[in-house]
Amino acid sequence: MTTELPDTTPPDSPSGAAAVEPTFARRVRSRRRIRAEHIRDYGIIVFVLAICVYFSFASPVFLTANNLLNIVYAQTPVGIAACAVTLTIIAGNFDLSLGAILALSEVLGAWVAVHWGIGWFFPVAIISGGVMGLINGLIITKLRVNAFLATLATALAFVGIATGVTGGLLITPTQSAFVFIGQNKAWNTIQYPNFIFLAVAVICQIVLTYTVFGRHLYGVGGNREGARLSGLNVDRIVIMTFVITGLACGLAGMIDASTTGSGSSQVGTTLALDAIAGVALGGTSIFGGVGSVWRTVVGVMMLGIITNGFNLLGVADYWQQIVRGCLIVGAVAVGSVIERR
Amino acid sequence: MSALVESTAPAPVRLVSIGKRYAGTSALDDVSVTIEVGTVHALVGANGAGKSTLGKIIGGVVRADEGEMFVDGEEVRYSTPTEARRDGIATIAQELSLVPEMSVMENVFMGIEPHRRGFVSWRQMRRRYAELIDRSGFDLKADVKVGSLRAADQQKAEILRAVNTDARVIVLDEPTSSLTAVETEQLHTLIRGLRANGTTIVYVSHFLDEVLDLCDTVTVMRNGHVVRTAAAEAETEATLVAGMFGAAVSAEKLDTSAPVHGDVMLEVAGLSRADVLNNIALNVRAGEIVGIAGLVGSGRSELARAIAGADPIDSGTISVAGEERRIKSPADAIDAGIAFLTEERKKDGLFLELSLAANTTFANLGEVSANNMLRRGVERERTRALLGQVGVDPPAPHARAKSLSGGNQQKLVFARWLFCAPRVLILDEPTRGVDVGSRAAIHLLIQRLAADGAAILMISSEIEEVLGLAHRTIVMRRGAVVREFPADPPLNDVMEAAFGLPGSQQ
């Protein structure tokens, strides 16, 4: 998979008259240019591989299919939210309400599963997430409230509603279908949520790279006024990113409820920050206009791998948190230093 | 008194052979000026003559590339306004730098608050403010919020701040451009008072009547050179205009004399926007280039933005090819076949992080997609062809926009709008910040587009550029169309209309 704008292709030769020496000079020049960009674009992959090698030697369990699948499984809700919020961030906005949307949609999904029947579980969880995203988008574009504050505020409200619905308890539907997706494996090996995560990541990347809408997201995030003057309805595009993020968090909430077998208003408290940490690790600019989904996936997986590896080695939790913090600062700093050169 | 002869009196500011270039184009070249103590010294010139740049160099806002500057006989090299301020030189820019939410007194003492043991001493500040008011004769209440003041009073607050830092030289850059006639007169009274107290004033302006009324010495500039420095009494508005524009020669003069007979493609009637545009009417035929001339603030760019749907309008109609169009957004304008190249291509034109292909096709992605999926191969081919047509070198669809030079970036913006196959093309400063070679290429491109049948409305602050390309020239002043000229009008007539000199009105 390629990023949106791989700058690695050397400029096309203007004519066939290129002599041997200029060709050589061009190759040298492009190789030097690729090196700096490589650190930013692919450095994270090298880093992930390096820690994988380390954990493989340090723990015999790490490099087993089961363990690797478990890492993906554990990161699925964060990963789905992170892939979707990558679109929002590329379009120049921010969403802190990811975890709150997840909590409220899983609570609503569990509630309708109990009261209206299991058939309502999927659609209500997902669509309620989309509605919450729509509310975010409308507040940000129509009321002109800064996205950071708007989603901080709606997050409080969504969690409040979720707690009101559950009364602070768990809602536990008894149908076996409720836990089917979350607790079963295809061919007895791969958890179903892993497929959903993969599908969301692939769809988001395709939308970003190969659709008109995806191109518009880069434009709005890179130069909002330029996008408007090019005839785009910027508000509508921004609202769409929040709806997409909401739908994805609803989906993640559905998976989380199905995995735990219940709907709880207490989940997702760190989801927004974990997801945004993954996006940042992947090198997507918090200021918009630059980034891609596959790198977000790598960032999210890196966080999962560190948690898993440290757990296997019996390293205390607080060390994990310290290392995560340092990694995020390091990744973003490397990116901006390279950008400034 | 003649400032051409070097005076023996101590000159607070003396500039020798100053040069400054921006992106390869020369803004100032071999400029030497001496500012005498206790005078009001005007810098006048057309847009782009370098008068503001010179004022900024004196105030340390901009650093000269060449030449020397002496303050009280000592050579100085300022890199920041703070360094100039230390030598008693304060700059009051066109955009004021006050904090609107704070009081006048707090602004005046910003950064130099009297204090005791880390606490602001309000009593001392109040006493010193009263002294300052006494000394300057300004009537400005200490506790009024700056944001609630009229523009002239905000100017006063800025000047108080300058005086408060014991500024001996104050550079004022277009100080009256946002003031009413009464406020202008008040400001002039203040300046005369400062001069009486021995303060030296550098007054950058294009309002010739003000300059002649207020100043002692005038330096006339043209294209980055000093034409002459002379006593204000020796000048009239006519001599200043002649000095600012010289003999009306234009190297790029092309044959635009043949009238264009195409159908009227763009017709604007009764276009108004409160405080900005006043009842504008104009038309542009297919194949015609119509130039808009006028000073900064005359409403040129605002007119372009209104037609392109970038700014809302209060009243008026816009018709394209005889059909009235409701234009409420840039999308409506694009639908109507109007393309708009803005004056600030970096701020609201280009997507610097995106590829040339993405920049080229952005406003018309429907052309290179099917069912909302981009056809990237088609996009690359179309981009390569268009980049070749407008002359972006190299025409590499993958390269990022930020890797291009200024001239190539401007051509890239052209490519985007040509990709929309517009019927009406509005160009706001199409060659600003562009090197000489690209400039000629862009001029050629504009003419080719007109020859192919586009109706072109072109704005430039370089009057020679407008006159060189346009079949007709419209002159704007204070938001209204004041005159229209056929091809190849005398430069001085156009300038007199733009400056609103008496006798120029029809």
- First vs last Cα of chain B: how many Å apart? 38
| Interface residue ranges in chain A relative to chain B, Cβ cutoff 8 Å | 4-7, 9, 11-12, 14, 210-216, 218-219, 222-223, 225-233, 289-290
Residue of A98, A82, A112, A135 whose CA lies nearest to A253: A98
* Strand pairing report for A185-186 and A190-191: antiparallel
Provide the pLDDT confidence category of residue A6 given band limits of 50, 70 and 90: very low
SS3 B80: coil
Backbone torsion region of residue B48, taken as left when φ is above 0, otherwise alpha when ψ lies between -120 and 50, otherwise beta? left
Residue of A222, A241, A316, A252 whose CA lies nearest to A85: A241
Distance CA(B106)–CA(B140), nearest Å, equals 13
Record: contact A215-B363, CB cut-off 8 A: no
Which tens digit of pLDDT belongs to each residue from A19-32? 333 444 444 444 44
Answer yes or no: are the C-beta atoms of B145 and B64 closer than 8 Å: no
Q: How far is A236 from chain B (nearest CA, A)?
A: 13
Q: How far is B334 from chain A (nearest CA, A)?
A: 7
Distance CA(A247)–CA(A102), nearest Å, equals 9
**Cα B265–chain centre separation:** 29
- pTM of the model as a whole: 0.72
| Interface residue ranges in chain B relative to chain A, Cβ cutoff 8 Å | 308, 310, 329-331, 333-335, 340, 342, 347-355, 358, 362-363, 365-366, 369, 372-374, 376, 394-396, 398-400, 416
Distance CA(A145)–CA(A150), nearest Å, equals 6
Record: contact A229-B366, CB cut-off 8 A: no
Q: What is the DSSP letter of B258?
A: S
User: Which one of A225, A229, A286, A336 makes the best mutation probe of the B interface by having the most chain B beta carbons within 10 Å?
Assistant: A229
Which tens digit of pLDDT belongs to each residue from B386-399? 998 888 877 888 88
- The helix or strand, by DSSP H or E, that contains position B356, with its residue range, turns out to be helix B356-361
> According to the model, what pLDDT value does residue A26 have?
44
SS3 A190: strand
- Structural domain boundaries in chain A: 51-340
Residue of A260, A296, A294, A265 whose CA lies nearest to A280: A296
> According to the model, what pLDDT value does residue B291 have?
92
Record: contact B399-A7, CB cut-off 8 A: yes
Mean pLDDT for chain A?
A: 86
Distance CA(B442)–CA(B436), nearest Å, equals 10
Please indicate whether residue A239 or residue B144 has the higher confidence score (pLDDT).
A239
B400 interaction partners in chain A (CB closer than 8 Å): 5, 7
> According to the model, what pLDDT value does residue B392 have?
85
Distance CA(B227)–CA(A93), nearest Å, equals 52
> According to the model, what pLDDT value does residue A74 have?
92
Arithmetic mean of pLDDT, A255-264: 91
B334 interaction partners in chain A (CB closer than 8 Å): 230-231
Record: contact A229-B330, CB cut-off 8 A: yes
- The helix or strand, by DSSP H or E, that contains position B191, with its residue range, turns out to be helix B181-196
Record: contact A233-B348, CB cut-off 8 A: no
Strand-pairing partners, residue B324, are B319
> According to the model, what pLDDT value does residue A256 have?
94
Q: How many residues does chain B have?
A: 506
Q: Where are the alpha helices (DSSP H) in chain A?
A: 20-58, 65-90, 98-115, 121-142, 147-166, 180-183, 192-210, 212-222, 224-229, 234-260, 271-281, 293-313, 317-340
Distance CA(A5)–CA(A37), nearest Å, equals 12
Examine the predicted complex and report whether its ipTM is higher than 0.85. no
> According to the model, what pLDDT value does residue A23 have?
41
A13-47 burial by CB neighbour count: b if 16+ within 10 A, else e?
eeeeeeeeeeeeeeeeeeeeebeeeeebbebbeeb
pLDDT over 70 at A280, yes or no = yes
From the list B334, B342, B354, the residue facing A231 with the nearest CB is B334
- First vs last Cα of chain A: how many Å apart? 27
Please indicate whether residue A40 or residue B394 has the higher confidence score (pLDDT).
B394
pLDDT over 70 at A98, yes or no = yes
Distance CA(B473)–CA(B489), nearest Å, equals 8
Which tens digit of pLDDT belongs to each residue from A104-130? 999 999 999 989 988 899 999 999 999
By CB neighbour count within 10 A (0-12 exposed, 13-18 middle, 19+ buried), where does A174 fall? exposed
Answer yes or no: are the C-beta atoms of A138 and A295 closer than 8 Å: no
User: Which one of B398, B413, B420, B426 makes the best mutation probe of the A interface by having the most chain A beta carbons within 10 Å?
Assistant: B398
From the list B340, B351, B363, the residue facing A223 with the nearest CB is B351
From the list A5, A231, A233, the residue facing B355 with the nearest CB is A5
User: Which one of B327, B351, B428 makes the best mutation probe of the A interface by having the most chain A beta carbons within 10 Å?
Assistant: B351
pLDDT over 70 at A67, yes or no = yes
Distance CA(A87)–CA(A95), nearest Å, equals 11
Sequential pLDDT tens for chain B (506 residues):
444 444 445 667 888 888 887 755 677 888 889 888 889 999 988 766 788 888 889 988 888 888 889 888 888 888 888 888 888 888 887 666 788 888 888 888 887 788 888 888 888 889 989 888 877 667 788 888 888 887 778 878 888 888 787 788 999 888 776 666 777 787 888 888 888 888 899 998 877 888 888 999 999 988 888 888 988 888 888 788 778 776 443 344 455 666 677 889 999 999 999 888 999 999 999 999 999 988 877 888 899 999 999 999 999 999 999 899 999 999 999 999 999 998 887 778 899 889 999 999 999 998 899 989 999 999 999 999 999 888 887 788 888 888 887 788 888 998 999 999 899 999 998 887 776 667 778 888 898 889 888 999 999 887 878 888 899 999 998 888 988 888 878 888 888 888 877 654 44
Percent of chain B with pLDDT over 70: 90
- The helix or strand, by DSSP H or E, that contains position B466, with its residue range, turns out to be helix B463-469
Cα→Cα distances A52→A66, A308, A330, B186, Å? 15, 11, 18, 74
pLDDT over 80 at A336, yes or no = no
CATH assignment of A51-340, among 1.10.3470, 2.30.30, 1.10.3720, 3.40.50: 1.10.3470
Record: contact A225-B400, CB cut-off 8 A: no
Arithmetic mean of pLDDT, A177-196: 86
- Tokens linked to B234: 């020796």
Cα→Cα distances B439→A282, B105, B203, B388, Å? 41, 49, 32, 16
Arithmetic mean of pLDDT, A77-97: 95
Distance CA(A307)–CA(A310), nearest Å, equals 5
Contacts of B348 (CB under 8 A, 6+ apart): A223, A225, A226, A229, B342
pLDDT over 70 at A35, yes or no = no
> According to the model, what pLDDT value does residue B257 have?
61
Answer yes or no: are the C-beta atoms of B504 and B321 closer than 8 Å: no
A210 interaction partners in chain B (CB closer than 8 Å): 373-374, 376
Contacts of B313 (CB under 8 A, 6+ apart): B271, B272, B273, B277, B306
Distance CA(B432)–CA(B45), nearest Å, equals 18
Q: How far is B45 from chain A (nearest CA, A)?
A: 32
Arithmetic mean of pLDDT, A9-37: 44
Distance CA(A172)–CA(A217), nearest Å, equals 39
The residue assigned the tokens 């809408």 is A213
Distance CA(B90)–CA(A2), nearest Å, equals 54
Domains and CATH numbers, chain B: 13-245 (3.40.50.300), 247-337+422-506 (3.40.50.300), 355-421 (no CATH)
φ, ψ of residue A124 in degrees (nearest 5):
-70, -45
> According to the model, what pLDDT value does residue B140 have?
83
The residue assigned the tokens 């330029």 is A226
Q: How far is B430 from chain A (nearest CA, A)?
A: 16
Answer yes or no: are the C-beta atoms of B167 and B143 closer than 8 Å: no
* Helices A147-166, A121-142: crossing angle, 10 deg rounding: 150
